[in-house]
Amino acid sequence: MATHHHDHNHGHGHAPANGRLLRWALALTLGFAAVEAVGGWLSGSLALLGDAGHMLTDSVSLGLAALAARVAQRPPSARHSYGLGRIEVLAALVNGAFMLAVVAGIAVAALDRFANPREVAGGTVLVVAALGLVVNLGAAWLLHGGEGLNVRGALLHVMGDLLGSVAAIASGAVILLTGWTPIDPILSLVICVLILFASFNLLREGVHVLMEGVPPHLDLPEVGRTLAEVEGVHSVHDLHIWVPDSGMTALSAHVVVEDLKDWEVLLDRLHDVLRAEFGIEHATLQPEPLHKPLHPMPFEEAPHRGPSAE
């Protein structure tokens, strides 16, 4: 009989605090994305508009992350036995697709700007981008105190915003000092590359989770070897590791044991190893005896007991 053990919190104990951090970061990022968009429009800076687009995509990411953190707190049900934590994965895929659409729009505008140059107000670009850098630093500081994959993913997006703000500052400074306006579409394409990397990483990770792949930080053979080395374990097979949601890692395996009488003690030992070595709290382990009992003789081969001879 399979023995099932896990932490019913599913790693969502920090979700309320994470949700607050994400909402504050969302307010900062979305508010300044609007400021940058207006500044980019008034100054004619595509780099500033590109950074505003990058901040907008990250605002969507933060909003989806905050929503996911809230929904993920709902307990498992008869219909969703793992809960709704995987909504974070769906949010990541939607966000990644949205970011790709933004990249396409910025890239088309940048190529058009090479063919049709426009005057850019370098001073406005410099001031607005510098303020954006401060806002991004504040958002990064907020998220740095959070825990979990959801928050770490949002922090990576904010760090991308930081680089975008630096690119916009560089564009404003070059235009202000030299008047060389091609730097603006060039740096806007640099921002596009940043968004592309973030988008592809996000989409790849989301698809990997939906395909129930092994988490990147874990090595399946290594986990199997470690379990097999526990005293009392002969071997491990049918080992599977996947991520039901970003707050937990699940494992299932068949464990061949030397003596089934020691299974209860051995089970606790295996869970301790999984928790300490790999951070896996949710494991379903099926014990199997090393020496299986002999099968009884088929009924047709059993000695026949007919009526007694008279």
Largest CA distance in the chain: 123
Q: Across all residues in the chain, what is the average pLDDT?
A: 77
How far is residue 12's CA from residue 102's CA, in Å, rounded to a whole number?
Answer: 32
Identify the band that residue 177 occupies on the pLDDT scale cut at 50, 70 and 90: confident
Q: For residue 35, what is the enclosing H or E element?
A: helix 15-43
Residues 167-194, mean pLDDT to the nearest whole number: 83
The residue that leads in pLDDT, 71 or 175, is 175
CATH code at 220-289: 3.30.70.1350
**pLDDT tens per residue, range 43-70:** 777 767 776 776 777 777 777 777 777 7
Separation CA 96–CA 71 (nearest Å): 20
154: amino acid identity, one letter = A
Q: Where are the domains of the chain?
A: 3-210, 220-289
CA distances from 119 to 34, 43, 49, 201, 243 (A): 22, 8, 14, 35, 51
- How many CB atoms are located within 10 Å of the residue 8 CB? 10
Inter-residue contact 175 to 183 (CB < 8 Å): yes
Q: Is the dihedral of CA 241, 244, 246, 247 positive or negative?
A: negative
Q: Which of 53, 104, 163 is nearest to 171 (CA)?
A: 163
Residue 267 pLDDT > 50:
yes
Please give the pLDDT value at position 167.
Answer: 79
Q: What is the pLDDT of residue 299?
A: 43
What CATH code is assigned to 3-210? 1.20.1510.10
**Could you tell me the pLDDT band of residue 145, with boundaries at 50, 70 and 90?**
low
Given pLDDT bands bounded at 50, 70 and 90, which one contains residue 16?
low
127 versus 247: the higher-pLDDT residue is 127
pLDDT for residue 173: 87
- Does pLDDT of 229 surpass 80? yes
Residues contacting residue 107 through CB under 8 Å, at least 6 positions apart: 189, 192
Q: What is the pLDDT of residue 71?
A: 75
- Decide which of 159 and 285 is more confident: 285
Q: Could you tell me the pLDDT band of residue 19, with boundaries at 50, 70 and 90? A: low
